[in-house]
Homo-oligomer: A and B are copies of this chain.
Amino acid sequence: MTLNTTSGPTRIVHANEPDEESVLERKFGHLVPLDSEEMAQLRDLQARTEKVRARSDILESGAKAHPTAVILDGWAYRYKTLENGRRQIIAFLLPGDFVSLYAPLLSTNGASVRTLTDVTISKIAPREMLDLFRNHARMASVICWSAAETDRILAEHIVSLGRRSAYQRISHLFLELLFRLDAVGLADGDTIEFPVTQEAIADTLGLSIVHVNRTLKRLRAEGHIEVNGDLLRIPRFDTLARIAHFDRDYLVHRRLPDRLVHRLIG
């Protein structure tokens, strides 16, 4: 990975600028080598863009399932609201993530998805998805890999909720987000844009707002994080990773070994 805690700040790269590498190219490009036809294929997936305002629902729980979509820019989250009004955030959706990969297979949505910032998505018709799987084995494997990554993130979230202290949970979440943003070129060295309220952190990690607030205060006081408006800096990655028992390998952004690629689609 390119995460580099010693280098000076570099400019934050935004999706969709002309002549820029697309988000999916950045996400998948260092996973498997892509030829020019595959690049074009990826660009097609990102062609049917749509803007969504901050704080609005992309998907509603129980509603008829939508087509799949990819996030090209901005933050969103998948969540569920309980009967007593409490809320649980299941996962954050960042640029390069699929909003509802399985939607075409299911008749209704199991959870809702809501934006945190203004968001650009690109919709993908079920048929387009199917063609991909039929005719572009390497693309298909890359999308499955993405599903595998989601699975691991959910699993790690379960570990946090079940067996880590508030202090570790928050640290772990921050490191995960830094890691994931870095993978799509959206980390600026050791700092990231962080448009997440304390209430949202609380609802992600199963804590109360009050306790999140106090724990953040402690993390700031101890110099593990620096918050500046919407910017979050993690100045000593390794130290915090040790405290939170963050395993940098559970998000596998490294290029797949040729052996694997061959076995699968060679």
Taken residue by residue from 115 to 131, chain A's Cβ proximity to chain B (1 for < 8 Å, 0 otherwise) reads as 00000000000110010
Chain B residue with the shortest CB-CB distance to A125: B263
Chain B residue with the shortest CB-CB distance to A142: B105
Nearest-neighbour CB distance to chain B for A188, whole angstroms, equals 28
- Residues of chain B lying within 8 A (CB to CB) of residue A130: 137, 264-265
Taken residue by residue from 144 to 163, chain A's Cβ proximity to chain B (1 for < 8 Å, 0 otherwise) reads as 11011011101101110111
Query: Interface-forming stretch among A9-17, A33-41, A76-84, A214-222?
Result: A76-84
Structural contact, A249 and B105, CB atoms closer than 8 A: no
- Residues of chain B lying within 8 A (CB to CB) of residue A264: 104-105, 126, 130
Q: Which of B105, B152, B260 contacts A148 (CB 8 A)?
A: B105
A87 at interface by CB-CB < 8 Å = yes
**Mostly helix, strand, loop or mixed at chain A's interface?**
helix
Taken residue by residue from 194 to 209, chain A's Cβ proximity to chain B (1 for < 8 Å, 0 otherwise) reads as 0000000001111000
A237 at interface by CB-CB < 8 Å = no
Residues in A243-261 with C-beta less than 8 Å from chain B: 245, 249-250, 252, 254, 256-257, 260
A110 at interface by CB-CB < 8 Å = yes
Nearest-neighbour CB distance to chain B for A179, whole angstroms, equals 14
- Residues of chain B lying within 8 A (CB to CB) of residue A82: 159, 163-164, 245
Structural contact, A263 and B104, CB atoms closer than 8 A: yes
Nearest-neighbour CB distance to chain B for A261, whole angstroms, equals 10
Chain B residue with the shortest CB-CB distance to A206: B162
Binding site for B on A (CB under 8 A): 78, 80, 82-83, 86-88, 90-91, 102, 104-108, 110-111, 126-127, 130, 133-134, 137, 140-141, 144-145, 147-148, 150-152, 154-155, 157-159, 161-164, 203-206, 245, 249-250, 252, 254, 256-257, 260, 263-265
